[in-house]
Amino acid sequence: MKSSVSIRGMPKKTGFTVVNSSSHEDNFSAKELMVHGPTVNGWRSSRLCSYPQHLTLQLVERSRIRKLQLLAHQFMIPAKVEFHVGDSPPEASPPGFPGQFHRLGYVSLSDNEKTGFKARELKSVHVDAVGTYLRITLHRNHANRYNHYNQVLC
């Protein structure tokens, strides 16, 4: 997950810390999202988890978010991903409920059947929001023969 912020009209990546995830599989912690590189595993929900799954990111500073980018896995694909932004710390909201967060919207992802589950889909979402926290809600996975445990991966 990447987010772009605008400072004096120039977009740039902003850093974040993962502060919460509703689940993860061993060796696929949400903390993996904070590192970029070819050997990074990324975050994967636990096997046979309940949906929706949530990730909460704290931005390095209160930021104006103009664009969010999401790169989906080849076959561990959520059907829908929602984005919320806010300034309240996650512990101020009940688990699974964005509370003081403002809903930015959602994107639907392809089931990837047409590509034989070989391509990854990159979604760019253009928004105009300000906040300190970004909550990502991942809804039920697209079922397919490769995803035996009904997981999603970011």
As a whole number, mean pLDDT of residues 16-29 equals 93
Residue 83 has pLDDT above 50, yes or no: yes
Q: Is 48 left (phi over 0), alpha (psi -120 to 50) or beta?
A: left
Q: How far apart are CA 41 and CA 52, in angstroms?
A: 21
Q: How far apart are CA 142 and CA 131, in angstroms?
A: 30
As a whole number, mean pLDDT of residues 49-64 equals 96
As a whole number, mean pLDDT of residues 9-20 equals 85
Q: What percent of the chain has pLDDT over 70?
A: 86
